[in-house]
A and B are shown apart, each in its own frame.
Chain A
Amino acid sequence: MRAPDLSTTIAGIRMKNPLTVGSGTYGHHGVFGQFYPVETMGALVTKTIRSHRWPGNPPPRVHEVPSGLHSSVGIPCNDWDYFVAHDVPILKGLKVPIIQSVIGRTEDEYVEIVRRCSELGIFAGIELNLSCPNTKQGGVDFGYDPEASFHLVKRARDATKLPLIAKLAPDYSLLSRVAKSVEAAGADAISLVNAPRAMCIDYRTRKPIIGNRVGALSGTAIKPMAVYMVWEVYRAVRVPIFGMGGVTDYRDVIEFMAAGARAVAFGTINYVDPMALPRALEDLTTYLQENGIEDVNELVGAAHDDRDELLIPAENRLESEVPV
């Protein structure tokens, strides 16, 4: 049988395979490919950067939980000049489409960093990390607010010609509405899930364990929730989806693609099993061959069926959750 076609195009970004990494979970200080060539993956999503220097959150920042990681790193960042002098030359040398993730505390900060990144001319796309408290609007994350997300993405849209990916915060109640907002505002793709908020309290001290008190949860523990959210967003929008949340191997990749993801990101598993992505790529290829699937894109949305109703009673649905 012919080798299956693994390539895909998402938001206009051509990927030789649908595997990528979650922002902030792969590479550091401009060091990539410590375990395998970064060119193995279909696209590289880099750690979120800001327009200004930021120390990140106080330690402790990580805490192990059953099948997962509780963390609050706080997106530490060097200043822009350092990024340009140190990281950019390294990124330029990589032969893989690079999606730069960015964040800001205000719309203006987002727009500024989007503009600067596009001007560099080295990125295949920009991912807006919407999991940041909107300091001008009472500190609610942009990603938890359909209107704020809309305005932010619209302004970012006007600031760049590059493919724009909106990375959503995992919020059950507003997920579809936020997804539709960012699509309407011009996002070319949606990426989800970012790590949901979480807290662990030490029963002995009765105080939160993580320095920032509030952290996030990632890894295997969140996978079923993340798969569901990808499934829901797939039904709500037409733009393609980068799916992630607890991916460890090729079976998870297939699960996310079946839920509706066109590309799938490896996150926390990179810390534990750094060869997980290349191994999954091999296993995925074998799976496609064994199942007579010639094009990996055939997996996308396979879990959906003709029943067009969401399994939520109509009277409990928000208007925007009416199936598309």
Chain B
Amino acid sequence: MEQVFASVVFNRHLTGDYWLLEAEAPALAASLLPGQFVNVRIEGSAAPYLRRPFSVYRVSRDRRRLQIAYKVMGEGTGLMTSSIRENGRCDLIGPLGHGFSLPANAKRIAVVGRGIGIAALPTLADEAASRGIEVHAFLSARTRPNLVALDIFAEYAFPVVTHTDEARANALVTDALAALAQKVRFDAFYVCGSNRLARAVHALAQKQNVPAEIAMEQHMACGFGDCHGCVIAVNLRPSRGEKAFKEVCHYGPVFQTWEVVDASA
């Protein structure tokens, strides 16, 4: 983990509500593991005060550059579109947190993402591909343009099932996963971006006795474990019962689904 002033390669509109930032940060990019994140400071203005956490969307093949795919939500992400400029610099802290784990002999995994939650998945897909693991993606979003990363899964010819609310508002993209999982064996599930999808993936994982991981988000002040501000309630055992508060930036952002599904209820 380190603070770097990365030089910005580009920062441009991606698709739908999303922007894509690419920056040169060799040491950070080289050590980054799938599912880890960075904390971005928007320089040159007093507001916003805090950094903004983002998953790393992609690391270049030479592992010198990294990308962040971000959705324009409020003041911070809005300012990022205008204040972070090509050839300028970007103040980053990372890599942060604990990312996804791939079971040792995995042959096939399923990744499930909704909205900007999808942005956490490409680094996992890249790692899986490098180990010869087949990835099935189940991606959902409000509208078609908000389905990011389709091109990345296409690069590897990984099968992708998509779902948009415009098309079928009540169905879940995990219905397709549940159907497929009847026929083929998955060695792990990964989910991010939606509580509903997380519950569905967790239920399926339990039924099939397959490990399932989830990337969580929480409001953060530091992102590197010092403030204890980003906790969520987690189950300490799969059987529920005892709970504890754990820092998303330190113990997560990736947790086992049993740790977090229904933990705050």
CB distance from B249 to the nearest CB of A (A): 10
**Segment touching A, from B48-56, B177-185, B189-197:** B48-56
CB of B231 within 8 A of CB of A59, answer: yes
Which residue of A27, A34, A59 is within 8 Å of B1 (Cβ)?
A34
CB of B226 within 8 A of CB of A26, answer: yes
CB of A76 within 8 A of CB of B245, answer: yes
Contacts of B46 in A (CB 8 A): 67, 220
Tell me whether A272 and B49 are in contact in the complex, defined as CB-CB below 8 angstroms, given that A60-B219, A76-B245 are known contacts.
yes
Which residue of A34, A66, A69, A275 is within 8 Å of B47 (Cβ)?
A66
CB of A68 within 8 A of CB of B232, answer: no
CB of B49 within 8 A of CB of A220, answer: yes
Is A270's CB within 8 Å of the partner chain B?
Answer: yes
Which residue of A31, A62, A63 is within 8 Å of B227 (Cβ)?
A62
CB distance from B3 to the nearest CB of A (A): 6
CB of B47 within 8 A of CB of A67, answer: yes
Q: Within residues 6 to 61 of chain A, which ones have a CB less than 8 A from any CB in chain B?
A: 24-29, 31, 34-35, 55-56, 58-61
Contacts of A275 in B (CB 8 A): 3
Tell me whether A27 and B226 are in contact in the complex, defined as CB-CB below 8 angstroms, given that A71-B221, A220-B46 are known contacts.
yes
Is A219's CB within 8 Å of the partner chain B?
Answer: yes
Q: Within residues 53 to 72 of chain B, which ones have a CB less than 8 A from any CB in chain A?
A: none
CB distance from B145 to the nearest CB of A (A): 27
CB of A28 within 8 A of CB of B228, answer: yes
Is B224's CB within 8 Å of the partner chain A?
Answer: yes
Chain A 213-230 near chain B by CB (<8 Å), digits 1 or 0: 000000110000000000
The DSSP consensus for interface residues of chain B is loop
Is B229's CB within 8 Å of the partner chain A?
Answer: yes
CB of A271 within 8 A of CB of B226, answer: yes
Interface size, chain A (Cβ < 8 Å): 35
CB of B226 within 8 A of CB of A25, answer: yes
Contacts of A29 in B (CB 8 A): 225, 250
CB of B49 within 8 A of CB of A270, answer: no
CB of A61 within 8 A of CB of B47, answer: no
Chain A 191-223 near chain B by CB (<8 Å), digits 1 or 0: 000000000000000000000000000011000
CB distance from A50 to the nearest CB of B (A): 14
Which chain B residue has the least Cβ–Cβ distance from A74? Answer: B228
Q: Within residues 205 to 230 of chain B, which ones have a CB less than 8 A from any CB in chain A?
A: 218-230
Tell me whether A35 and B3 are in contact in the complex, defined as CB-CB below 8 angstroms, given that A62-B219, A67-B46 are known contacts.
yes
Contacts of A69 in B (CB 8 A): 49-50, 221
CB of A28 within 8 A of CB of B226, answer: yes
Which residue of A27, A58, A76 is within 8 Å of B233 (Cβ)?
A58
CB distance from A200 to the nearest CB of B (A): 12
Is A73's CB within 8 Å of the partner chain B?
Answer: yes
Which residue of B41, B228, B233 is within 8 Å of A272 (Cβ)?
B41
CB of A63 within 8 A of CB of B219, answer: yes
CB of B49 within 8 A of CB of A67, answer: yes
Which chain A residue has the least Cβ–Cβ distance from B225? Answer: A28
Is B244's CB within 8 Å of the partner chain A?
Answer: yes
Contacts of B228 in A (CB 8 A): 24, 28, 56, 61, 73, 76
Contacts of A35 in B (CB 8 A): 2-3
Which B residues have a C-beta under 8 Å from some C-beta of A?
1-3, 41, 46-51, 93, 218-233, 244-245, 250
Which A residues have a C-beta under 8 Å from some C-beta of B?
24-29, 31, 34-35, 55-56, 58-69, 71, 73, 76, 219-220, 268, 270-275
Task: Sample 25 A-B pairs with CB under 8 A, ordered by A number.
Answer: A24-B227, A24-B228, A28-B225, A29-B225, A31-B225, A56-B245, A59-B233, A59-B245, A60-B218, A62-B220, A62-B229, A62-B230, A64-B48, A65-B49, A66-B47, A67-B47, A71-B221, A73-B229, A219-B49, A220-B49, A270-B222, A271-B223, A271-B226, A272-B50, A275-B3
